Structure 1
Amino acid sequence: MHSIGEMGRDSGLGVSALRFYDRAGVLVPARVDPVTGYRWYAPEQLDEARLLARLRQAGMPLADVRLVLAGWAGADSGDSGLVPRLLDGHLRRLERELADARGALSTVRALLEHKESSMTTTTAPTRTARLTVPAAEFAAALDAVRFAVGNDPELPVLGGILFDVEGADLHLVATDRFRMAVACASTGGHAGERVQVTVPTPLADAMRALLTDGSEAVLTVDGDAVELQTQGRRAAGQALGEEFPDYRRLTRLPEGRRITLDVPALRRALAGQDGERCALVLTDTVVVAVDPAVDSADDRDGTGAAGGFDAAGDRVGVNPAFLLDALAAGEEMQLEYVGPRAPLVLLRPGTEDTFSLLMPCTLDA
């Protein structure tokens, strides 16, 4: 017999997914210990679990997966059998969806080209700014956003940090699409128009390495050239050429309810999560992390992190590693919850201009 941990490792499904498919009646363990509730699987169920993993990887709906597994167990392998027809039908559906997506994206490209051609071709003003920033504030702002920088080679502009200078404020912004971090530092010496420049991550890291004392740093932007000087040391380089997304539009959210977080307890709970998603259970006064496949915090397989908490409240799925990154901002933090599909907002009490957003994920295994 295979334990649930062995089954998860060898099949590629993971323990949380196996619990989900047990409760859904798709892949029921051969034996469940009546005392501990621990699941055990027969050796022949390993091939079935691997097949299930591939079907879900291909995006097949759960209702069709059930039929494929039932037909496969009954040796339905003929060309006219149910299983081949289900596989062919799913492939045709994917091809239709791909064709529809191609058509929609072609329309979007045409709209973008029309917009670009209809815009005036006047020369954009030169981006120039020279300002002073307290080194400690600048370092704290860089630290607050660094974790959210993207690493997708298809989206190089997200591989940098936006420096947005407006009035006396320097906003720093980073996003990898699934999360966004915004921080602010005060400045002096800049009274001109708003200046935005996207600083590549290596240059931003080099700047951070210089900010080791309480002196003032001088930031200079001249077109695509960016330079930071402090205490006779210098870091300089070229900005990324692409335009950063309008972060202000992305952070314009309805007001939600704020919940004070027990950050140390939540970190401990998240550290026990080994998957790409876990559930946060939100009440008016507490946030608890539990395994998404556990009906309550009384997890008899021993992997839940709620410790006897009655999991009654709103549930929202998150990537535990991403949430841990956001919680590194401080020991006192609040979570603002707008709704199950809206980004979660994490911020420190009394600080409205430094925060991070985290996109929720589905709890379907």
Structure 2
Amino acid sequence: MDLLTIGAFARAARLSPKALRLYDELGLLVPVRVDPGTGYRFYAPEQLDRARLVAWLRRLGMPLAGIRRVCACATDAEAAQEVRGYWARVEAETAARRDLAGFLLAHLDRAPEPADAPPGSPAAAAAEGEPAGPRGALALRYAARSDAGLVRPGNQDAVYAGRRLLAVADGFGPAGAPASAAAIGALAGLDTAGPLPPGHLLNVLQDAVEAAARAVGASTGAGGGAGPCTDADAPDAIPDGTTLTAMLWTGTHLALVHIGDSRAYLLRGGELFLITHDHTLVQSMVDDGRLTEAEAASHPDRSLLLRALLSGGPAPTADLKLHAPRPGDRYLLCSDGLPAVAGAADIRRVLAAEAEPDAAAAALVALANAAGGPDNVSCVVADVVVPATAAAIRVRTTT
């Protein structure tokens, strides 16, 4: 068999001799023969396909550990699945960085704010991607409902709806109810606080998440720790904790903070958009291409959380987004008791049909209960309006 020198093999595979020596040391691409006297490496032509695959995976940015898994696959289909999963993770990480970059740009540009351009001016309209035209200051018209459902013995959800703060928390574990109430309570001060310091919005949100994490620990008085958890009924197997999805009105934008699998939706122009990403094991498997959306809906581990506020655990990294609302927008924050039994089409239909936020929240709770009400369900509905129509609706809670 004619062997290729390391130089010839490197040129054919489009890899450097230095890279080939590293791959040999790692056991990733071992030469067929090494000269005992000179240490010179020789490769078989049959190794070129694997070497070229390694080269392309490196250009893709895959770490060596991932490349090793791809090369160990028994079939091309298995290798393709590994590459698909890697790229899904890259896209998810990129999306998270893109959201943070968008948050920073929107906040730093501050084009819609009075110091730079008055709301409704051509400059503000252009900055927000809206048609130029008169638009007064905006406000929120809101309502909230929380219900135990038809199966659970108690309600571990907590909700808040105010002129500046909207929030939903879904507690789990034996002390889930105190945990969710504590998380909401830690954020409630934002509703009555003064104007946010310019440029400090990210710090305010991060401080709020850390305060919520401390409050959850103090409310349960238990150990626990960070790690996967579930909101299913298995109190001896899980820590106490809660999800948290909240939106803070800055006067020109809505800042979103999200941890867990409660959700936020936006109804705009008759279309419904999910604006949060579930922090669950099943969702990560969908992101990796290992499950379809249909398979995820009936997966036995669909309630297993990868991120939440846990008793005794550190504050997790929250998803942060900044939304530029428009008059007529309707936002929905809900615990997972609603989307677990109601599809997006049904949620959109109810949100579009009910004129008043309180009626919409009540109808969504009724929708979940009509489907069996297997879990607690909480909804906060907020309409973006001009101040003349922004009379607040008092929060109502049913049990």
TM-score scaled to structure 1, two decimals?
0.29
Task: Flag the structure with higher helix content.
Answer: 2
Q: Which has the higher contact order (CA 8 A, sep 6+)?
A: 2
Which has the larger strand fraction?
1
